[in-house]
């Protein structure tokens, strides 16, 4: 197993992004804020009426899970960007047979600051498809879910594509038991564009557990502040 993305896949996704409407109303440029780690505002105006910048906002059993008291760094707050749509449906499967992109299964847990799993945390995911295109008129590749009693979540989606100025990323809002909403983004290792993306944070890299040309499995634990 390797975590390294096959070069042909990355190249193909980049080409697809260039060819598929990263310009125009469906996938306008998501401007990069100048300060990577404190990127709380994007300069770009909302591209569509639906791109609302709204403020709405046990123990694991799988082998990759960490035990309480032994979890990685705290979630890094990141910009919401211009493409969030509130009210996404409650579902764990964001992709279907028509979705453009390589299937991705993402698992993990939501943990509190003491690394104790948080049951009932709300995860609200949204992302571009494999060609770098957001659905800003509907809820394709958007969905909310609630963590189980052991703090776990499961997301079935696709690896997001590149679009101008941004590396591969998945947006998510995590609401803990205290009702506080934490907005961040997840990234993927060994993507060349990580180095040139001003919002990218290596603290928010998923851990790839299985990868082929046809699919990826990855994990990430959200540790709330
Ligand atoms: Fe984005």
Domain range annotation of the chain: 73-223
pLDDT of residue 14: 41
pLDDT in tens, 70-126: 687 899 999 999 999 999 999 999 999 999 999 999 999 999 999 999 999 999 999
CA of 205 to the centre of ligand 1 (A): 15
Give 178-201 pLDDT, tens digit per residue. Answer: 999 999 999 999 999 999 999 999
Cα-to-centroid distance, 128 and ligand 1 (Å): 7
pLDDT of residue 71: 82
Distance of CA 105 to the CA centre of its chain: 12
* pLDDT bracket for residue 21 (50, 70, 90): very low
Quote the ligand 1 centre to 163 CA distance (angstroms).
Answer: 8
Is the per-residue pLDDT at 46 higher than 50?
no
Least confident of 31-35, 65-69, 95-99, 182-186: 31-35
- Helix then strand then coil, in percent of the chain rounded to 5, is 10, 25, 65
CA of 220 to the centre of ligand 1 (A): 18
Comparing C-alpha atoms, which of 93, 111, 58, 67 is closest to residue 223? 111
- At 37, give phi and psi (nearest 5°): -80, -15
Which has the higher per-residue pLDDT, 66 or 90?
90
Whether residue 65 has pLDDT greater than 70: no
Cα(151) to centroid(ligand 1), Å: 26
Fold designation for 73-223: Protocatechuate 3,4-Dioxygenase, subunit A (2.60.130)
Beta strands in 98-150 (DSSP E): 103-111, 122-127, 142-146
Half-sphere exposure of residue 11, counting CA atoms within 13 Å on the CB side? 3
Calculate the average pLDDT of the chain.
79
- Residue 80 CA, ligand 1 centroid: distance in Å: 8
Assign 56 a pLDDT band (cuts: 50, 70, 90): very low
Report CA(183)–ligand 1 centroid distance (Å).
12
pLDDT band at 60 (very low <50, low <70, confident <90, very high): very low
d(CA 69, ligand 1 centre) in Å: 32
Return the higher-pLDDT residue of 15 and 147.
147
Q: Ligand 1 centre from 70 Cα, in Å?
A: 30
Tens of pLDDT, residue by residue over 151-170, are 999 999 999 999 999 999 99
């Amino acid at each position: 197993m390797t975590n390294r993305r096959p070069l042909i896949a990355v190249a193909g996704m980049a080409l697809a992004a260039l060819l598929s409407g990263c310009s125009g109303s469906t996938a306008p440029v998501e401007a990069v804020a100048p300060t990577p780690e404190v990127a709380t505002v994007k300069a770009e105006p909302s591209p569509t009426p639906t791109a609302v910048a709204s403020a709405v906002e046990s123990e694991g059993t799988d082998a990759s899970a960490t035990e309480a008291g032994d979890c990685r760094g705290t979630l890094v707050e990141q910009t919401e960007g211009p493409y969030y749509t509130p009210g996404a449906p409650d579902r764990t499967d964001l992709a279907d047979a028509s979705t453009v992109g390589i299937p991705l299964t993402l698992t993990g847990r939501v943990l509190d600051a003491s690394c104790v799993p948080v049951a009932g945390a709300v995860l609200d995911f949204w992302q571009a498809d494999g060609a770098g295109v957001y659905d800003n008129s509907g809820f394709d590749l958007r969905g909310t879910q609630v963590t189980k009693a052991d703090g776990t979540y499961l997301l079935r989606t696709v690896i997001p594509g590149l679009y101008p100025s941004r590396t591969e990323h998945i947006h998510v809002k995590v609401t803990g038991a205290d009702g506080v909403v934490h907005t961040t983004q997840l990234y993927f290792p060994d993507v060349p564009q990580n180095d040139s993306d001003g919002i990218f944070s290596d603290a928010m890299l998923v851990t790839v557990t299985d990868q082929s040309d046809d699919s990826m499995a990855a994990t990430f634990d959200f540790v709330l502040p």
